[in-house]
Structures are given as C-alpha cells and as structure tokens.
Amino acid sequence: MKHRLESNQESRKAGTNGLHRRTSIISRRPSLSFLPICVSSVSHLWLKTVFAWFLCALPVCAADVSYQREVWPIFKRHCLGCHTDGKAKGGLRLDDIAALKKGGKHGALFVSGKPDKSLLLKQVTGDPPEMPENEPPLTAEKVKILRDWIAQGAKIDAAPKVDRPPVVIPATYAFAPSVTSVSLSSDGKLAAVAVRSEVVLFNVDDDTPPRRLATDFDLITHVEFSPDGKRLAAAGGSPQQFGGVIFFDSAEGKRQSTRRVGNDTLFKGNFSPDGTTIALGGPGGAIHLVPVDAKAEVKSIELHSDWVMAVAYTPDGKQLVSGSRDKTTKVSSVESLKLLRSIDQSTETINAVAADALTAISAGNARTLNGFDFKLALAGAEVTGSGNGARPVNNRDQYVRAYEAQPEAVMALAMSGDRKLLAVATRAAEVRVYQTDNRQRKVTIAKAPAPVFAIALNQDGSRLLLGSKSGEVQVYEVTSSKLLKTLIPVPVAASRTAAR
Amino acid sequence: MNTLSTQLPNWNHRGTENTEMCSVGALQHLLRLLSVPSVPLWFNLPVMRMKPFCILACAIFAALPLSAAPVPDPIVGDLTVTPASLTLVHAQRPHSLVVMARTKGGYDVDFTGTATFRSSNEKIARVSPTGWVQPVANGTATLTVQASGKTTKVTVNVQLPAEPTPASFRQDVMPVLSKGGCNMGACHGYSLGKNGFKLTLRGADAEKDYPALTDEFMERRINRHNPAASLLLLKALGDLPHEGGVRFDHGGLLHETVRRWIAEGARDDAPTLPTLVSVTIYPEKIVAMPHARQQFQLVAKYSDGSVRDVSRTGIFNVNTERVARADEVGLVVATDLGETAIVARYEGFFAVANFIVLPPNQGFQPTPVPTDNLVDRHIITKLNDLRIRPSELTDDAHFLRRVSVDLIGVQPKPEEVLAFIADTSADKREKAIAALMKRNEFVDWWSLKWGDLLQNSRNTLSDPAVYAFREWIRAAVARNAPMDQFARELLTARGSYADHPAAAYFAVSKDTDDTLQRSTQVFAGVRMLCAKCHPHPFEQWTQADYYGVHSFFNQVATKPDPRQTGVANAKTVLVNLTTGSSTNPRTNKPQPPRYLGGGEPKLEAGVDKREDYARWLTSPDNPHFARSLVNRVWSYFFHRGIMDPVDDLRSTSPPINAPLLDALTKDFVAHKFDLRHLMQVIVTSRAYQRSSTPNETNGHDDANFSHAIPRRLPAEAMLDSLVQATGVKENFGGAPSGFNAAQLPDGNVQSDFLTLFGKPQRMEACECERDLGANMLQALHFINGKSILDRVTSGSGRPALLIQQKLDDDKLVEQLYLWSLARKPAAREVELTKKFLATYGDKRAEAAQDFMWGLLNSRDFTMLQ
C-alpha cells in the first residue's frame, strides 16, 4: 500500500513536471488569402477575423496544412523517439518520406482524404489514445492538424528539415581534446592518435610537425595501424546518426576508402592478424567485420544485448573476444560467425578486451582484470539456448586466470604484437605492464596523466604509447619506463590549456 | 418482513414503486418524508463527489457578471516591489521583480505582468516587460515601476567581475537537468538509467552526474569543440530521436545554459564552490481574488551569502489542484475559491507559499475571536481571514452521540441521552466529557487505536504475546501514562513477552528497516521509505538521514523464544550492543547514528543506542514527537488532521492552521504529554461541537473546521452501537466470548461485518490501513445481510422487547429512535411513524421491526452528523 501511494505521487509528479509537455502548442493561423472568398460580405476587419476563425473550424474551410511546417514538428516532438531508423517500433518509420507513405506492420498509416479511416488518427485519439506511448495525449489542436492534413490528401510539401550540425575541426582548439584511441607502428616509430573528429600522426623520434587527418565523423573511437603498418584505420561515427571506418594510407596520410556501418558510432576493435579485416564493436550488440577491400561485404555477428565496447582477435585469427556494456565477455568464431561461448559476466561494463595465444582477457569498470583459458573455457561447452541467451555450464572457476586487482576502472588494454606483454590503462595515474605468461607485473609507470583513455604497445613491446582525457599523449620506453616524448598533438589556444 | 425481502429489488427502481400501500411502499414513502434517505447513504455518495464540480461551475458563473461589472476595490498604499533594491554580480543571472499592491478589501494584487518598467540607464541595467532585470555594465541605475497610477523606484547596483563568470555545473547545469525532467524517476533518473545513460534521481549527486555527462564512452555525449554537435543537446532538442521527447526549446534558457557550459569546456566546479543552503519563495502568503494571476519568485541562497533568482529553473506545484494551477515559471492562476500550498522545488530544497482565493467581500462581519479556548482562538482567527463564519453548535443529542462515539467507541444509551437532555446546567457538556473519559469503554477504544498503530497481531506475534501486549497497552491507557514515557518504554523494550510485553513492538518488525519505518511513521508522522534508496522527493530527507536512524535500531535482533518452543510466532527481542553503524549505500561508508533531521550524538561503544534515540525523541523540544501525536489525535475527532495525512508529515504539505498546531503542541508538552488532557482540550472546543449544517459562507470549506464534516462510524463503533441498539450480541470466531468489537485482540477474527467496514489487519503502521470509506458492498450488506435483519427480527431483539412492554405508539416510537439513533424523534417524525405503524394493522411487532430496520439503514445511524 505504501509503495503504491508513492508511485502514484511519482507518476503525478512526472505528469506535471515535464517541461516539454506544454511548451509548444503549434499555433495555426488561417490563410489570409482565403478570407475574401469566405467572408466577402462582411465589412469590418475584426468581424472577418472572427468569421474566418469560425469557418475554418469547419472541415470544408480548413486552411492548407503544411507537412513540413506543421505535421513534421508533431512527429518530431511526439513520435520520433520510437518510430525512426534503428528502432522503428511496429515497423514504422516517420523520419523518411518513403517509409512514412509505406506505413508499418499494421498497414498504411493513413488513407489519403479519409482521416477517419486512417490508422494515424485511430492511434492518437480514443480514451486514452494508444499513442504517444507513456505520454500525455496530443492536444486537440495537434490532432486537428493531423486530421486536416490527411483530409487534404496528406500532401508532402517539402522534406522535413533536420538540424544536424556539420563536423567542425578547429584549426586551433580552445581546449585540448581528449585522446580516445592510440596506435603504434610495429617498429614503434610512428604513432597515431585519435582526438574527437581527427586522427593525428607523429614521429616518436623526431619533432617533425604532426600530420592531422580530418574526418567527417563526430567522434573517432578507434584508431589502429594494420599489422604490416601500411594502412591506418579510423573507426567511429556520429552518435545516433551513423557509424563507419575510414582507411588511410599511413605513409601518405591519404584516405583510401570509407565504409558507413549502422546508425550509431562503432566502438573499439582490432585488425585481423592477416590485415584483411578490421573487427569493430557496434552499438546494436553486434561485431562488425569490415574488410579492407572496399568491394567486399561487411559481415556481422549479433551476440551481445548492448553496445560492444571492444573486440580483439586471437593470434591465429580464428576467434574474436568481445566485451560489452551488457557486462559480458564472449568468444565467437570468425569462420562460422557464431557465438562460441559467453565466458564471463562482470558486475559492470566491460571496456576493453585482448587475447594472447592461450587466454582471452577482459576488464572494465569493475576494476578486475581477468584472463580466461580458451581451451578450458571452450572445451565441451554446452551452450543452451541461442544467441544472446546462450548459457554455458558454469565452470568459470576452472578457467579464470585472474590478474591483480586494478586501482580504478580499466579503460583500455594493449597487447604487444608478440603477445608477450599486456599494458593496462585505468582512470588512475598508474599504468601497469604485465607478462602474459605468468600474469606478473613487469613495469609500472607511476605518473601518467590520469585518466588514461587509450594505450598501445608496438610489436616487441619495447615502446608504449598512451593518451589521456587531458589531451596529453606520452611515449615510454617500456623496460626502463623512461618517458621518451610527451605532447598535445593538436594546436590549443594558450590561455585555455592551463584551465584544463 | 417476508414481503420486504422478496420485494427488495424495488428499492433500486424508484419508478416502479407500487401504488398500493403495501408495506414496502409505505415504508419508503415514510422514510422519504422523514428526510431519512430511503436509499441508504452509499447511493448518495456520487452526489457528494459532484460537489467540487458544482462549486467550480458556480464560481465560473459567478465570475461572468463579476468581470462585466467589477466591484470597485481601490488600491491602498504604495506598490511593493520585491526586491526593493538589488545587486547583480553575474551577467547570466538576471533577477526578477514582483510588483504587488493591496486593495481596500484586503486582497493582494499582482501587477508584475501589467506594470511598466523603465531603467534610468540601459547601459547599466535593462529590464524586460515581464520585470526581469539584466545587468549590462557596472554602475548604478534606477528602475521606475509604474502600475495602477502609482510609481515606485528600485535601485540596481551592477558589479560584474572583469572576467565573465563561467557556467557552473552544480549551480547552472544540474538545475537545468531537473527542470528539463531529465533526471526524473521515469527517465534517466531511473535506478538503471535509460538507454545506457544514467543520472542520479532528481540530481541527488552531482559527483556522479558530472562524469556521466562529460566522459562516459569517450565524451560521446558532449562535444566541447563543436557544442552544437553535442548528443546531449541534439537529443534534448529533439533534433535526434529521443524517446523522452523534446525537453529543451531551441534558444531557450535550458538550451542556452547547457550549450554555454559545454562551449566553456564543460568544466567541473572548484571544491570551493558555494553550496546551496536554502530557497525562499515570495510572496509567502497571498490573498487572491477569484481568477487572479500571481507571479511567484524563487530565490536561492548559497553558503557564501550570495543569492540568485531561480524562478525560471525552479519547479512549481500546487498541492490542491482544484484551487489553482502553476505554470513553468511560477505564474499561478486561481481557478476556484479555497486555499492551497504552492510548493517550489529547487535542487532538493523546498519552499512553500500559502495561496488563498477569497470570494468578493460583501459585508463580511468577522466572528469575535474567543480568548477562553486555544483551539477556538486560532480557528476563528483563521476563519475571519477567510471570510468564513463557523456553523452553529450542534444540538445536545447530536453532540452526545458524536462525543461518545469518538471517546468511547459506542453511541449513548437512551437513559444517557434523556439524562443529558434533561440536564440544564451550563457546563453539562464538560461534565459529560469528563464522565466518558472515566468509562471502561474509553480504555477499550483507545487501546484498540494503539493496538492498530503498534500492529499488535497474531500475524506476527504469538497468542500469549498478543494478549500480554494488549494488557500492557490497556494498563497504560487506563492510568493515562504520559506519552513520552509510553514511547520510551516501547522503543527500548527487549526480551520475550514474559520479560516485557512491550518488546512485542520490535518482534512485529521484519528487520531494522521495518522498525525504522514504523517508528518514524508512528512517533514522528514521517515516512522514510523513499530515503532508503534516494533523497525523498518531497522532503529534505537523504540516505544519510535514513541510515542515521537505522544505526539507532540496528542492534535489535529477534530470535525464536527458547522458552516457548513449538509456539507459532514466539519471539524474543535481543539487543546486540556491539553492533556498529549501518552502511549508507550511497557512500558505502558507515553512517553514524543521526537524529531525524538533527545532529549526530557521540555515543560510547557498547550502549543500547535506542535509549539515546528515545530520550531525544521524547524531549519536550523535539520537533516531531508531540507535534505529530497532537495532529494524529486531532484527526480522530475531525475528518482530517491539521496536517494531512497525519502519518506523512512534510514541509511540502504545510498545516492548514500552523498556529493552532503549535499552540496545541505547546499545551500538550506543558501538560507533560497528557493524552486525556489533549482530548479534553479538543472536544470541549466549539470547533469540535459544531453542526454539520453549513451556512452561506462556509459551504466550500472542507479543511478549516468551520463546520462538522459527517464521518462514517469506524467498523468497531458501528458494530458495538448496532449490538447495543438491538440488544443482540455478535459472536466472533477467534476471540474470547463476551468480547465486544472494540475489545478484540487483533484483526484475526471471523467477522464479515468488521472486514467489510474496514477493520485493519495491522500489517502496516499506516492510518490508511483502516478503511473509513463507503462502498456498495457495505450498502448491500446493510440492506440484504443478516447483521441488521437478524437482529431486528430476533425474538430477543429490541423491537420484540419493546413490544413486550406494551408501550403506546408515542413511547414506542421514542424508544425506537433513542435506541437506534440516540436521539428523540421530532414531532413530525413521531406523527409520520405512527401513521406508518398503523399501515401494519395488528402486525405491530413486524411494524416495529421494519421501522427499526429502516432507522439503522439511515445516514443518521451510519454517520456522525
């Protein structure tokens, strides 16, 4: 009883607090050109106005409704949260003219000229109306707009206007942009770092000015040299708009090709050992296998129930380890594109994964770093159910290979090309490097610019590159933990660097 | 009687009434003449619910001629502009002006929307047509405010810092997230967030919300280098699909604030940022005309002494929605006569204003304020403010029935009624009250109430423990134990029922959370459940407050009683003195004992912490204990508490008459927590003794005790009164024979009647568990069920006994009225009843039975009029 009372109050509050619920009632004014026809015998202007309003309340006299100016704003405000590309509840999309005309899985949205036979009107009227779901009903004015629009033939006068600000890459930044991803060439001499919408290449051993590679992505989430070092991939996209990968020639910095994948940014990934494909985490819970060859097809493995934050290939290139915001770590087969096993369920989001020859490794906000023995984890795993629901027999204790606890949430992992060293970046200032054979800590870099968002090792693990939220990038010699280079890779206005 | 029961369906079909004078038709006819509703009270309820609509409709119609020819009510005195002068130190923080005046008729009139504002120097400060003052450059300017032919000046001092002050996350952005509704429980404030984006509920914790916005998933949600591309803005503006809809308007305050903060680098605040310490609302009290519009101003005060106008980002709610409605920026429009609290919320702080809508003053004569009674003094003062005259005192018989049911749970017997009416002494009501308090039934009745509140029940306690606890309560009521002592004993009891019966109080609880919630609800009238998981949405309780009280009670554990093996629910209450503080899940740190809304005492290790809590709770200056108890007891004698509901006391639902509650509390404490004294003060007041018949000024008032509001008899009082009236006892399964309804040990008895009329099962510490409502089942039970029918037709029932006495018609009618309704019939009622009896011819017994059946089915029996 107590609970019910409170939840009532809560819902009452929710109903009265919502700012958006009452702020914009679209005002409709009768078309003035119409007046002389309807009320030509009335001489006084105010009487005309009164009459016009009165008459225009009648369907015969309704002013022309503009889809762009009047109907689209209603869709945008009340419907687009669900009926849009990606979500499309009930199979209905309202953000695309063709899809709007087609309707959803319950059939056409409207019968042109017949509002009362139109599904749209049935959905938004009634007591209480079906739509908008969990929201107050549309006001009478808005329902009338929809009714009139259909009655007048549901004409599309102009395509809806969408405000999508263009990507802007400042020549000089006001604030040092956070480093989201880093990569080192095999020899450790060339570094690539991603900051917001651009990738920056610089030489570790000299001070030639960094090369800035602009993209049309709002956010680059992953940057990586191909194993042969000839190619550079930058993945990401614009949140809730599109995802994609851009391949650059790493020597020239020239764009080779661009692939768009899905309707939201991609996350972290990994080049296949043979360099032909890059596997990337996707927002829909899938891993996307994007081939370097622009003509080859993109393949996907649907296996997580939430964003896939990171993906790593096993050294033989046959399997993929993935970690997700759904808190699980999974192993899947590259050949069959099928889930092999959910090997772990953390208490928090997994931010990073890696793999050496024997173990899959994952870590995240739970501050634990775990290896999972492939042989034991995958041997005889009885997978029940299918897809995301796969639940293996629980013998985790037998195959987990724990590393020491981490001081803060783990943001990134880096494996040396020879798979002997594992570097761990956390929100803390301490960066740790482990030997993968015995899981012992080998090197500690004590004073990195926290929080460290990105980390990379070169082929033999002699050099370590890290990038911080603060915008700083550092290169270390691993064995001596000596700082070789530190820089902010893009120009930043002097007065503001201090503030950050 | 047979005819009656077979033809009963006719009662629902007034149109099919038989024209022959059959018994049913006659009875119906008679009852209608008697103004006793022929259809029992329940059928009338929808009509009662229509009342607000009628008032609303009347108000609307009344307003039509009013607006055509307004009653001249000139402004007296000057305009009051608030603030009278202002200093602005922040370019992004303008301040509003509220322009008020008072009329000769005593109304407050808001001119904020219609006044003209002019700045002496637009280069220093500009003022918008709605009265918002925007600083431009340093210096002093004078603002001239004109309204209703009057002029007032306000000095503005602008002192902007050389460098513009950047937007603050806590002071600017967090309030926007609350105002936009982003952090509501149904949205991203949900415990799991929404769509992967989680904010703390109602902005409880900026430390957690800052990283959620600025760095989760690689700064995905904001773009400091290209603010317009920030996902946060695109979604809130609806430019990208957002399931939560459009929350910000393009270019509006919310959009601009967040955009500016992102453009400035989305910086976190320095640890030295002043914290919010309070919010105040202006005006705090307003007497408005019907349909008036009033702009409210909400001002936040920070720890460095600075103030800021937050009217545009505060959230305004109206407690009584019938009376007024509030818009997004604190403009309140009066919609009906009455009174309501306007509650403004800003970042977990609340401010409350009193909004009164009065009818036009048409020669209202204030009632002289009595000085001899503290209750009447404050009630009449308030009623005069509201231009309400109280109703007359009710007559002797109605008074005696009301006070008997309220004090001893049963209506008076005929001889008591007759003796009381015959008494001509001036203080006969006081004498009757004193006599009732000495009755055994008084102990039954108030022990029943405490049994409910303390949840004494065989659902959770063993049989012997229930009876022992019942006896302990009865003894306390019988000796009129001071309430502080009573509460202290309960809150510190331990052992099994054999050691201390009051230990049952703890044995009832499932766990410490249960004990905490019951204790705060019963002894402070405060509900803490919300604060277990997040800050209370309507009060300033936080998890620190919750776990602070939790730490006082966490030493208690209940174990099966080793001395009563095999007995169901046999428990013993143990206190583990080594238990430390409870953990606050928000901080994951121990929360030391903290008094409810108070300090944290330094307690030595190894003491029973409950003793300190009980001592604090029952100290005379405790803000919760006496006040909540007084309010609760008050509600037993009226249709509502002075604060209501009585066990959900919050600053956001202020008392309807604060001076009254304060005065009663003070008096109660001064009389050493004497409950009988408190009851006596209440029932000897004129306010308690008023008639339920309204006059032309108080019909709309349902909160200020200007007239009695009819209440249904509680289940036990109804049954015991029915038993007394008919002389036929009720046999309860599950209780010793001979117990009447008020004496029952708990709700675990077989009685359809008591269940139907809402006797609580004692599963909750909430007054709401007792259902005092009316429903169709109750009506059908009275009409068709055996409770009345069997009793009036019984051979040993009242009608039969009266018939045996061979009374004449007059005597018979009087006796039937006295036993059934505890009053004498009016002359017209006697006459009509005699006619009715005559229609039965020689079936006099049947006539008496039918008539008593009708009386007991009437509102005069089921309600306290």
pLDDT in tens, B699-744: 888 899 999 999 999 999 999 999 999 999 998 888 888 899 999 9
- Measured CA to CA, the distance from residue B15 to residue A365 in angstroms comes to 75
Task: State both tokens at A428.
Answer: 């803390």
Residue A413 covered by a domain: yes
DSSP string, B568-582: TT-EEEEE-TT--PE
A-chain CB neighbours of B530 within 8 Å are 6
- Measured CA to CA, the distance from residue B130 to residue B118 in angstroms comes to 11
* Residue reference for tokens 């001979």: B738
Domain check: are A398 and A300 in the same one? yes
Q: What are phi and psi of B743, to 5 degrees?
A: -95, -5
Domain check: are A318 and A187 in the same one? yes
Q: Is the distance from CB of A197 to CB of A218 less than 8 angstroms? A: yes
pLDDT at A393: 54
- Give B859: exposed, middle or buried? Use CB within 10 Å, 0-12, 13-18, 19+: middle
Whether A14 sits inside 8 A of B184 (CB atoms) is: yes
pLDDT at A392: 53
Task: State both tokens at A47.
Answer: 């009487």
Hey, which residues does A362 pair with through a beta bridge? A353, A370
Domain check: are A143 and A208 in the same one? no
Whether B328 sits inside 8 A of A78 (CB atoms) is: no
Whether A134 sits inside 8 A of B241 (CB atoms) is: no
Q: Which of B180, B225, B244 sits opposite A174 (nearest CB)?
A: B225
Q: Which of A23, A167, A196 sits opposite B249 (nearest CB)?
A: A23
C-beta neighbour count of A230 within 10 angstroms: 12
- Measured CA to CA, the distance from residue A250 to residue A271 in angstroms comes to 15
The pLDDT of residue A159 is above 80: no
Residue A160 covered by a domain: no
Q: Are β-strands A211-214 and B276-282 bridged in parallel, bridged antiparallel, or unpaired?
A: unpaired
Average pLDDT, chain A: 84
* Residue reference for tokens 């651009």: A198
Domain check: are A423 and A364 in the same one? yes
DSSP string, B47-85: HHHTHHHHHHHHHHHHHHHHHHSPPP--EEEEEEEESSE
pLDDT at A387: 52
Q: Which of A3, A84, A265 sits opposite B220 (nearest CB)?
A: A265
Whether B223 sits inside 8 A of A196 (CB atoms) is: yes
CATH number for B276-357 (one of 1.10.8.290, 1.10.357.140, 3.40.47.10, 2.60.40.1080): it is 2.60.40.1080
**Which is the CATH superfamily of the domain at B75-158?**
Immunoglobulins (2.60.40.10)
Q: What is the pLDDT of residues B368-396, one digit of tens each?
A: 999 989 999 999 999 998 999 999 999 99
Residues present in chain A in total: 500
- Measured CA to CA, the distance from residue A101 to residue A154 in angstroms comes to 9
Amino acid letter, A465:
L
**Mean pLDDT throughout B606-612?**
96
Task: For chain A, give percent helix, strand, coil, nearest 5.
Answer: 20, 35, 45
Domain(s) labelled CATH 2.60.40.10 in chain B stretch across 75-158
Higher pLDDT among residues A497 and B315, named by residue = B315
Q: Which of A18, A265, A499 sits opposite B265 (nearest CB)?
A: A499
- How many angstroms separate the Cα of A253 from the Cα of each of A197, A211, A246? 15, 8, 11
The pLDDT of residue B458 is above 60: yes
Sheet holding A431-435, edge to edge: A410-415, A421-426, A431-435, A441-445
Domain that holds residue A142: 20-151
**Mean pLDDT throughout A314-343?**
94
Q: Is the distance from CB of B36 to CB of B812 less than 8 angstroms? A: no
- Give B809: exposed, middle or buried? Use CB within 10 Å, 0-12, 13-18, 19+: middle
Q: What is the pLDDT of residues A417-472, one digit of tens each?
A: 999 999 999 999 999 999 999 999 999 999 999 899 999 999 999 999 999 999 99
Domain boundary among A132, A151, A170: A151
DSSP string, A226-274: -TTSSEEEEEEEETTTEEEEEEEETTTTEEEEEEE-SSS----EEE-TT
Domain check: are A192 and A52 in the same one? no
Q: Are β-strands A299-302 and A211-214 bridged in parallel, bridged antiparallel, or unpaired?
A: unpaired
Residue A272 covered by a domain: yes
| CATH code of residue A453 | 2.130.10.10
Q: Which of B219, B228, B246 sits opposite A20 (nearest CB)?
A: B246
Domain check: are A108 and A211 in the same one? no
Q: What are phi and psi of A155, to 5 degrees?
A: -80, 140
Q: Is the distance from CB of B466 to CB of B460 less than 8 angstroms? A: no
Q: What are phi and psi of A87, to 5 degrees?
A: -90, -60
Q: Tell me how many domains chain A contains.
A: 2
Q: What are phi and psi of B81, to 5 degrees?
A: -105, 130
B152: closest CA among B215, B70, B97? B97
Residue A378 covered by a domain: yes
Q: What is the pLDDT of residues A68-83, one digit of tens each?
A: 888 888 888 788 878 8
Distance in Å, alpha carbon of A141 to nearest chain B alpha carbon: 18
- How many angstroms separate the Cα of A168 from the Cα of each of A21, A492, B180, B665? 33, 15, 28, 67
- Measured CA to CA, the distance from residue A31 to residue B53 in angstroms comes to 39
The pLDDT of residue B210 is above 60: yes
Give the three-state DSSP class for B244.
coil
DSSP string, A397-449: HHHEEE-PPPSS-EEEEEE-TTS-EEEEEESSS-EEEEETTT--EEEEE----
Domain check: are A300 and A401 in the same one? yes
Domain check: are A270 and A188 in the same one? yes
Check residue B238 and give left, alpha or beta (phi > 0: left; psi -120 to 50: alpha): left
User: Which segment of B47-51, B297-301, B496-500 scores lowest on mean pLDDT?
Assistant: B47-51
Q: Which helix (H) or strand (E) holds A46?
A: helix A45-56
**Mean pLDDT throughout A158-173?**
83
Distance in Å, alpha carbon of A380 to nearest chain B alpha carbon: 34
Give the three-state DSSP class for A123.
helix
Q: What are phi and psi of B629, to 5 degrees?
A: -70, -45
Residue A373 covered by a domain: yes
- Give B86: exposed, middle or buried? Use CB within 10 Å, 0-12, 13-18, 19+: buried
Distance in Å, alpha carbon of A119 to nearest chain B alpha carbon: 21
pLDDT at B90: 94
3-state per-residue secondary structure call for B516-542: HHHHHHHHHCCCCHHHHCCCCCCCCCC
Domain check: are A185 and A125 in the same one? no
pLDDT band at A46 (very low <50, low <70, confident <90, very high): low
Q: Which of B219, B239, B766 sits opposite A1 (nearest CB)?
A: B766
**Mean pLDDT throughout A45-69?**
58
**Mean pLDDT throughout B546-551?**
96
Whether A14 sits inside 8 A of B186 (CB atoms) is: yes
- Measured CA to CA, the distance from residue B310 to residue A447 in angstroms comes to 43
**Nearest-by-CA chain B residue for A84:** B241
A-chain CB neighbours of B234 within 8 Å are 163-165, 240
Task: State both tokens at B246.
Answer: 């459009």
B207, B246, B247, best to mutate vs chain A, most A CBs in 10 Å: B246
Q: Is the distance from CB of A432 to CB of A397 less than 8 angstroms? A: no
pLDDT at A62: 55
Whether B215 sits inside 8 A of A451 (CB atoms) is: yes
Domain check: are A418 and A465 in the same one? yes
Alpha helices in B146-230 (DSSP H): 174-179, 206-214
**Nearest-by-CA chain B residue for A351:** B217
pLDDT at B825: 96
ipTM of the complex: 0.79
Distance in Å, alpha carbon of B523 to nearest chain A alpha carbon: 17
CB neighbour list of residue B196: distance below 8 Å, 6 or more residues apart: A306, A307, A325
DSSP for residue B393: B
Give the dihedral of Cα atoms B235, B238, B241, B243; nearest 10 deg: 80
C-beta neighbour count of B103 within 10 angstroms: 18
Residue A11 covered by a domain: no
Domain check: are A198 and A325 in the same one? yes
Domain check: are A101 and A221 in the same one? no
Whether B218 sits inside 8 A of A14 (CB atoms) is: no
A241: closest CA among B249, B255, B229? B229
A-chain CB neighbours of B344 within 8 Å are none
**Mean pLDDT throughout A241-258?**
94
pLDDT band at A153 (very low <50, low <70, confident <90, very high): confident
Residue A162 covered by a domain: no
Q: In chain B, how many H helices and how many E strands?
A: 31, 26
Whether A17 sits inside 8 A of B239 (CB atoms) is: no
Residue A485 covered by a domain: yes
Average pLDDT, chain B: 89
E strands, B330-424, where?
A: 331-334, 338-346, 349-357
- Measured CA to CA, the distance from residue A164 to residue B420 in angstroms comes to 84
Give the three-state DSSP class for A483.
strand
Task: State both tokens at B687.
Answer: 């306010």
Buried b (16+ CB within 10 A) or exposed e, B409-440: bbbbebebbeebeeeeeeebbeebbeebbeee
C-beta neighbour count of A460 within 10 angstroms: 15
